[in-house]
Structure 1
Amino acid sequence: MQIKDVLLAPGNGAFFYDDQEAIRSGAIQDGFTYHGAPATPGFESIRIPASSLSVGLVLTDDTFVWGDMMNVQYSGAGGRDPLFDTNQISDFTSRVVAPRLLDVDASRFRDSCTKVLGSAGHQRLPLAVEYGVSQALLRAAAHLQRKTMAEVICAEFGLPLPTRRIPIYCQSGDAREINVDKMILKAVDVLPHGLINSRKKFGAGGETFMEFVKWVAMRTREIGSPGYHPVLHFDVYGWIGQEIGLEAQRIADFICTVADSVPGFTLNIESPADYGSTQAQIENYARIVSILDDRGTSARIVVDERCNTLEDIRLFAEAKATHLVQIKMPDVGSIADTARAVLICKANKVGAYVGGSCTETDLSAQASVHVAVATQADMMLAKPGMGVDEGFSIVGNEQSRLFAMLNKSRSSPRQMSA
């Protein structure tokens, strides 16, 4: 077999793990920290530096290929896996996963993922393990086949070589105004996220949020290049539902009001409300989507919370309970499942947003580009981190390099190396 050893290396995520429940419940922000007691199991404080764990595969030709494990910023919230524990994940990977890796044909990506990432003791592997190990297996297959990772995905899922660049979406973090200016000056396709994760940022009746939306549109016109017309995308972390109630009609009315305040822009509203379970989320989001569609508004709903796994994504897509799914890659697990998720969305005529988290790494972000491009997703997240420049550079440059290689491959098949 092509894998002769497995290495583990602890590392850093690009941002922080945050206790969403404590923040939602009114934790006071002080500079970059939060005051108050944590509310989510595993958190010793509300904000914790993100950690990661790299898994390295030593191939028989002594090549090293790597993947990175981590969890998302709001771990333990909305049905997600608990806070990432480097020591526990390292021990589990060494005991359970490493022996499996030494006994697979690493040139066959989907088959090796199936064999290595199968359940252990009737329980699914931690999603962080699935995510990092599948990255390493994709890089191994690409190396052994002398292809790009995108070409491996295309071949194994029966997809044509991609030709369309994937629009990139940046997130602002708390430095909203400065980062919005950065995004506009760099002509980002979709912006700005906005991190509307507290009552203070949303405002009474949503007034603070609406003023911010109008300011972003105005600022785009003020300093953007002629012809620049981004999609406006705001993550409100359920605050529409929390502030004005969970009735679908009222939420749809509010979203239409926001859309009407920025005419000419497509408006994405992510996580308008949290209904407490996947089934309730599906039923109520389907009502909101139906109302918005009937009105012909430019606003679109994006689902995140309660839509974590491949099966969750299938349920939302088939029920038309969203216009766009955030396929949050560390929550989905294996990146083979992210590819499947995009294809499920396409089959159901639902938008596919290949997302993730600010807590990720350069390696996971680069692998994400290959999956998003190969499957021709509708948009993808600039990651990791919250600084705009770094994530936009990592994702954008990897996409540019990938298309240069794909174009070379088209002109002289198999005379290139990834």
Structure 2
Amino acid sequence: MQIRDVILAPGVGAFFYDDQAAIRAGAVQDGFVYTGAPVTPGFESIRMPAASLGLGLALQDGAVVWGDMMSVQYSGAWGSDPLFDSKQMEAVLRETVAPRLLDADVSKFLDANAYVLGPTEGRRLPLALEYGVSQALLAAAAHVPRTTMVEVLCREFETRLPDKRIPLFSQSGDSRDINIDKMILKSVDILPHGLVNSREKFGVQGSHFVEFVEHVAARIVDIGQPRYHPTLHFDVYGWIGLEIGQDPQDVADFICRVGDRVPGFALNIECPVDYGSLTGQLDNYAKIVSHLDDRGSNARVVVDERCNTFDDIKLFAEAKAAHLVQIKMPDVGTVADSARAVLICKQNGVGAYLGGSCAETDLSARVATHIALATGADMMLAKPGMGVDEGLSIVGNEQSRTLATLDYRRSQMAKNTGVTA
């Protein structure tokens, strides 16, 4: 199946782009905006509406399939690509990628992906472009045989078709109290993220953070269903290192103390420290993991920052420098590499958290659901947006529909062949 034409459609992400460096430096929040000047190149203000650029592939049979290009919320921070520029993406797409697309056979996803998104003059294409184009190519590969994207992925990566859902992780944003109650009432598997991204939220020696963790656990008991027992997951944006110190033993001791305050709950701590480099992050996170394991703690470390590309993820997985690796899909690039990243984590006995960003779109979130199901990720982000309900609906319903479709096909096959599915 060939592509007849390429269509572009400007769009919006489901949240905002934020200048993380300015926020960490103490930018004051005024309502929904931050006051002061931005620090990270490309930002015109500290908080900017997220943008996307849709790519439509007009196929030979008249169908049009789509993918969305966008960046992560904290663009330009901790190794992420610069702030998304739709005009720049359009120029690269038309000059470099479109000719390859029009020459590609989209019936085999991995072959088309490698051909269209190969390096240009020895350099990778922008990751936002890789992300969106690969979504469209996966949709095209599924359209040709009229199957789901998960079936394409399972066939090409030689994995089993899924028969169970992937646990969902919801994030609260700044509206923490209301959104946490929503999560509990909806019995979310993993919660609440918490956006602990400032000294005000973390507190002196972590005092506010510890109180927050205890509050979430108590609220689950107060308003949750009797048998509801989620995993607690908090992203602290490096503030353990900033406030407690960077010594791996001290970091592990603090995490253990937090875990001791919520006995009976599994506890994930994301980005406890920023060690300033990939090597520093890799070496020191491995030590933190070792200390926690030696203590038999109920807490696990999740690596995010400084672990962006597939090659980075492979290093962390092989070194067991985290209990869970967040695979932040727009930072990884192609969705094929995100799938490979989940599989490399599983091969090394490390948890695979298929994540992304609140600044993504409904379309990219649905594609991510198929990646998670096909690879058996340990958890995935309920995205996009920061409103809880929208992300849970988009990702949760896509899972449900896909699994129901696969169950139906199994039952039909069993009926036609007389073999029990």
- TM-score bracket, normalised by the shorter chain, equals over 0.9
Q: Is the 8 A contact 2:164 2:403 kept in 1?
A: no
- 1:343 and 1:88 map into 2 onto residues whose CA distance is 32
Q: Residues 287-328 of structure 1: CA distance to partner in whole angstroms, max 9, x if unpaired?
A: 000000001111000000000000000000000100000000
Q: Quick check: 1:154 aligned with 2:182?
A: no
Name the structure 1 match of 2:35. 35
In structure 2, the CA distance between the partners of 1:414 and 1:77, relative to structure 1 (3 Å rule), is: farther
Alignment-mate amino acid for residue 316 of structure 2 = F
Q: Quick check: 1:218 aligned with 2:196?
A: no
- 2:182 and 2:193 map into 1 onto residues whose CA distance is 13
Task: Quote the offset at 1:120 in angstroms.
Answer: 1.1
In structure 2, the CA distance between the partners of 1:59 and 1:239, relative to structure 1 (3 Å rule), is: same
- 1:414 and 1:196 map into 2 onto residues whose CA distance is 50
Task: Quote the offset at 1:412 in angstroms.
Answer: 2.5
Name the structure 2 match of 1:318. 318
The alignment partner of 1:373 has SS state of helix
Task: Quote the offset at 1:414 in angstroms.
Answer: 12
Unaligned runs of 5+ in 2: 416-421
The alignment partner of 1:4 has SS state of strand
Name the structure 2 match of 1:164. 164
Q: Is the 8 A contact 2:308 2:331 kept in 1?
A: yes
Q: Quick check: 1:308 aligned with 2:308?
A: yes
The alignment partner of 1:145 has SS state of coil
The alignment partner of 2:155 has SS state of helix
Name the structure 2 match of 1:144. 144
- 1:381 and 1:152 map into 2 onto residues whose CA distance is 22
Task: Quote the offset at 1:257 in angstroms.
Answer: 0.4
Matches within 5 A, 1:128-143: 128-143=128-143
Alignment-mate amino acid for residue 408 of structure 1 = Y
- 1:90 and 1:13 map into 2 onto residues whose CA distance is 17
Q: Residues 81-113 of structure 1: CA distance to partner in whole angstroms, max 9, x if unpaired?
A: 000001111111111111101111101000000
Name the structure 2 match of 1:241. 241
- 1:198 and 1:30 map into 2 onto residues whose CA distance is 15
Number of aligned residue pairs: give it.
415
- 1:352 and 1:326 map into 2 onto residues whose CA distance is 7
Task: Quote the offset at 1:196 in angstroms.
Answer: 0.3
Alignment-mate amino acid for residue 150 of structure 2 = A
- 2:50 and 2:121 map into 1 onto residues whose CA distance is 28
Q: Residues 19-45 of structure 1: CA distance to partner in whole angstroms, max 9, x if unpaired?
A: 000000100011100011111111111
- 1:193 and 1:176 map into 2 onto residues whose CA distance is 9
Name the structure 1 match of 2:45. 45
The alignment partner of 2:97 has SS state of helix
Task: Quote the offset at 1:128 in angstroms.
Answer: 0.4
Q: Quick check: 1:63 aligned with 2:63?
A: yes
- 1:31 and 1:295 map into 2 onto residues whose CA distance is 42
The alignment partner of 2:144 has SS state of helix
Name the structure 2 match of 1:400. 400
- 2:292 and 2:163 map into 1 onto residues whose CA distance is 32
The alignment partner of 1:353 has SS state of strand
For normalisation by structure 2, the TM-score amounts to 0.98
- 2:153 and 2:69 map into 1 onto residues whose CA distance is 20
Name the structure 1 match of 2:327. 327
Q: Residues 356-405 of structure 1: CA distance to partner in whole angstroms, max 9, x if unpaired?
A: 00000000000000000010100000000000000000000000000011
Name the structure 2 match of 1:24. 24
Task: Quote the offset at 1:256 in angstroms.
Answer: 0.3
- 2:165 and 2:267 map into 1 onto residues whose CA distance is 21
Name the structure 1 match of 2:98. 98
- 1:365 and 1:79 map into 2 onto residues whose CA distance is 22
**Sequence identity percentage:** 68
Q: Is the 8 A contact 1:164 1:376 kept in 2?
A: no
